[in-house]
Amino acid sequence: MSIIKRKILSRFNFIFLALLLFVATTMVMFYESPERMLEGEWVEQGWYFEKVENNPSFKKQAIIHDEIKTAAIAHLPPLQDGLWHFERSGNDNYVAHHEDKRYNWFLKGRGHILELRKDDKLVESFVIHELNRNELILYLNLDLQAKGIARIVLKKGGRVNYAEKI
């Protein structure tokens, strides 16, 4: 009796494992991937300090000054107007709505790293903290006047929403 039970259990292990592998593979293949979710226009809602080095002048303020924000993305012209537009055409992922189309975007890891490259050279990388159909929260390491981590909150929306906002 015990031998039969163990034989069944041993087979059950294989079935369970195969089932898990099948479910995981199917989800990876057919579930909405972060790449697809990221495509489209995102409007900046705000820049906040998530973590900041022990510095009394920055410790108490949550919102990042425009001055620091501008400096942080000075090397990223397509993002400077507060509208982040991730476009995909075939195998080419580029940051759209800007005259300079040499900025490409890539997702890395399990979709938790957003890389921006210009002419195939890394310009900036963000950690994706939250990504769903409506909201995108990114972390960016700041090393300017204030050393720390910036939390950038964006909402999905087109030019209409953006126009309303400004």
Partner 1 sequence: MLRKYSNHRTVQDNIKLGALTAFSAGMVNVASVIVFFSFTSNVTGYYAIFAQEITKGNWYQGAVVLFWILLFLVGSMLSNMIIIHGKGRFSTYLTHSIPLGLEILSILFVGIYLDFFYKDSLQETEVLVGALLFAMGLQNGLTATISNFVVKTTHLTGLTTDLAILISMFTKESNRHNKALVDKFHLLLSIVVSYVAGGLISGLSFAFLTYKTFYVVCFVLLIIGFYDYYKLYIIKKQYLQRHRQDPVSV
Residue 55 lies near partner 1 (rule: CB under 8 A): no
Q: Residue 28's Cα: distance from chain center in Å?
A: 18
Choice from 7, 8, 24, 135 touching partner 1 (CB under 8 A): 24
Nearest to 126 by CA among 144, 153, 163, 89: 153
Residue 25 lies near partner 1 (rule: CB under 8 A): yes
DSSP 73-137: TTT-GGGTTSEEEEEEETTEEEE-SSS-TTEEEEEETTTTEEEEEETTEEEEEEEEEEE-SSEEE
Residue 33 lies near partner 1 (rule: CB under 8 A): yes
Residue 7 lies near partner 1 (rule: CB under 8 A): no
Residue 124 lies near partner 1 (rule: CB under 8 A): no
| Nearest residue (CB) to partner 1, 17 versus 63 | 17
Residues touching partner 1: how many (CB under 8 A)? 24
Are the beta carbons of 139 and 150 closer than 8 angstroms? Answer: yes
Instruction: Write the interaction track for partner 1 spanning residues 81-120; mark x where CB under 8 A is met and - where it is not.
Output: ----------x--------------xxxxxxxx-------
Place of tokens 């909201």: 135
Choice from 6, 7, 11, 28 touching partner 1 (CB under 8 A): 28
Residue 10 lies near partner 1 (rule: CB under 8 A): no
Residue 31 lies near partner 1 (rule: CB under 8 A): yes
Per 3-state DSSP, what percentage of the chain is helix, strand, and coil (rounded to 5)? 35, 40, 25
| Nearest residue (CB) to partner 1, 108 versus 165 | 108
Question: Can you say whether the dihedral through the CA atoms of 63, 64, 70, 72 is positive or negative?
Answer: negative
The site for partner 1 (CB under 8 A) is made up of 17, 20-21, 23-25, 27-28, 31-35, 91, 106-113, 130-131
